Structure 1
Amino acid sequence: MQDKLNCVSQIIKDTADIEILPYFNQPESFETFKKSSGEIVTNIDLNAERRLTESLLSLSVDSEVIGEESASEDTQIYHVLKKDKPVWIIDPLDGTRNFANGKNCFAIIVALCLGGETVAGWIYDPINLKMYSAYKGVGATLNGKSLNIKECQDLSNMIGSTGQNFSKILDERAGGFGIPKRCNRYRCIGREYGDLATGILDFAEYSILKPWDHAAGVLIHSEAGGYSAFISDKRGYLPVPPVKKTLLIAQSEKVWTQILKILSIEN
């Protein structure tokens, strides 16, 4: 299976080159729809997911797929996560709204899960040709080069991505001693995870967790040396159906604890 996993990066790149990039900044060449959730989707998402699904299933005949778009139509599909067989989790076009609006911040995300945990993950930034990948227990890479997160010692020099509530807390305390800064959300979680794994972002907080958004990113960040846990019970993230639960991600457990205190969240 390991030899076949080495093909995943190329499958993802081919999908971007064939199904996504030719249509970027060409709004007349694709259609946009609204899902029942209110989120937008394009035929580019659907075509990319179809290609990824067919290609990834060919690598392992007993594997199954959970794609963001297929899951929006069939919520019963999550039961495969409990099976003792390989499950591919796909976000064919993370940052759909950015793509549709001509903003070059989008990605393809693929995770491989087995026995209820993520064992491999890939995030591809097709604009900047950056492939982040990780295998559980082996480490994380960016275009084949090892990733190792370096801990920043000064909280005031840190920058993170946070939701509305936590952003308000940071804004109220902005400029204070040891208070980190925040950035505007990318509206592309895959790209945020890439920056977390390379130290461009130092921490992040997410409260609505969907497996296609987080399974690969959490593994890549962890294998690069980072730390993440739910603030309510300090348990790590596992690929499960969408859940509302706050996940805090940081360079290390020490920084995680410091950020938690700054945000005044009770454990």
Structure 2
Amino acid sequence: MNIDRLAAILRQAAKDEIMPRFRRLDDGMIQTKTSAFDLVTEADTNAERVITAAINAHSPDTVVIGEEAVSANPRLLDTQFEDRIVIYVDPVDGTANFAGGLPLFAVMASVAQNGEPVAGVIYDPLGDDFLMAEKGCGTWQVFPDGRRIRQKFADPVPLSEMGGSASTAFLPVEQRRVVLANLAKVKMTANYRCAGHEYRYAAGGNAHFLAYGKLMPWDHVAGALMMREAGATVAKFDGTPYTPRDLSGGLLIATDPDSWQTLRQEVFTV
């Protein structure tokens, strides 16, 4: 599927199914999945339904794997689709923010072919613009009027001057204690509870690192590709490449290989 068509599908779903519900959800429209921080709303389920239908209408042979579909049928992630084009969809990334009325959420989709990421889109419904990348073509901020701004990850700085985002909630307890203490070695750290906006922020050169303990393809396939295309070093905590099939092992993104190694040794230890 053409990346511009995919972006248009995400934008239309946001306008039809997500934004009309923002700050208009009652209790019956929000459900808890695994914890108080893992929620699903009518916006998630309806947006994923219309996104999936629109993709299938344009590309019937494409496999669509959405976050909510996997929540209903976890075995979807175990199915082998290496011989087909797969589009991973996160209808509302940052659902807890969305449900709480915080304007920090995104709509994300990534395209994998032969098991390799080839394209990604992160749409900001409030800003009404996209972060888009295709393998080998760079990462771009794209506006509805056609304007495009190429993105570049930050330049290296010493560890003590680094700022970035770290999602530590899904690390093992003992590792989390160590990492949280080690984060005192950097200048600044944050967690937006929305990987889509963390990737958007970093792509523009505003962060020196990103780290995630939980890997789900709809959360990270698009963003990891975008960070590589913006010039960052991207790898799992053990140094191996990240792929859509990886569901564990953590993900660390940094400005360059030396910075990656420093962060791995000094902060994100195991």
TM-score w.r.t. the length of structure 2 is: 0.88
Give yes or no for the alignment of 1:239 onto 2:252. no
- Contact 2:234–2:252 under 8 Å retained in 1: yes
The equivalent position to 1:170 in structure 2, one of 183, 189, 196, is 183
Q: Which residue of 1 aligns with 2:253?
A: 249
- Contact 1:67–1:89 under 8 Å retained in 2: yes
Give yes or no for the alignment of 1:40 onto 2:46. no
Deviates more, 1:98-107 or 1:76-85: 76-85
Query: What's the CA shift string for 1:123-149, capped at 9, x where partnerless?
Result: 111112231010011111011221122
Query: What's the CA shift string for 1:3-61, capped at 9, x where partnerless?
Result: x3321111111111111111111123960112256621011100000011011122322
Give yes or no for the alignment of 1:184 onto 2:190. yes
Q: Which residue of 1 aligns with 2:25?
A: 27
Query: What's the CA shift string for 1:225-266, capped at 9, x where partnerless?
Result: 11111122x11110016x231211111212111212322636
1:78 & 1:125 partners in 2: Cα distance? 26
Q: Which residue of 2 aligns with 1:208?
A: 214
Q: Which residue of 2 aligns with 1:259?
A: 263
In structure 2, give the amino acid aligned to 1:203: F
1:30 & 1:183 partners in 2: Cα distance? 35
Deviation at 1:79, TM superposition (A): 4.0
Give yes or no for the alignment of 1:196 onto 2:202. yes
2:28 & 2:162 partners in 1: Cα distance? 39
- Contact 2:65–2:76 under 8 Å retained in 1: yes
Unaligned stretches of 5+ residues in structure 1: 172-178
SS at match of 2:156: coil
Query: Cα distance 1:64–1:158, how it changes in 2: closer, same or farther (>3 A)?
Result: same
In structure 2, give the amino acid aligned to 1:85: R
SS at match of 2:58: coil
The equivalent position to 1:220 in structure 2, one of 206, 218, 226, is 226
2:126 & 2:250 partners in 1: Cα distance? 30
2:86 & 2:193 partners in 1: Cα distance? 26
- Contact 1:90–1:109 under 8 Å retained in 2: yes
- Contact 1:229–1:237 under 8 Å retained in 2: yes
- Contact 2:87–2:110 under 8 Å retained in 1: yes
Query: Cα distance 1:239–1:37, how it changes in 2: closer, same or farther (>3 A)?
Result: farther
Deviates more, 1:35-44 or 1:60-69: 35-44
Deviates more, 1:26-35 or 1:97-106: 26-35
- Contact 2:154–2:207 under 8 Å retained in 1: no
Spell out the pairing of 1:135-154 with structure 2 (5 A cutoff): 135-143=134-142, 144-154=148-158
2:190 & 2:28 partners in 1: Cα distance? 28
In structure 1, give the amino acid aligned to 2:162: M
SS at match of 2:249: strand
2:70 & 2:197 partners in 1: Cα distance? 22
Query: Cα distance 1:202–1:130, how it changes in 2: closer, same or farther (>3 A)?
Result: farther
Q: Which residue of 1 aligns with 2:4?
A: 6
Q: Which residue of 1 aligns with 2:74?
A: 75
1:190 & 1:107 partners in 2: Cα distance? 6
- Contact 1:81–1:239 under 8 Å retained in 2: no
Q: Which residue of 2 aligns with 1:174?
A: none
1:183 & 1:259 partners in 2: Cα distance? 13
Identity among equivalent positions (%) equals: 34
1:263 & 1:236 partners in 2: Cα distance? 20
TM-score w.r.t. the length of structure 1 is: 0.89
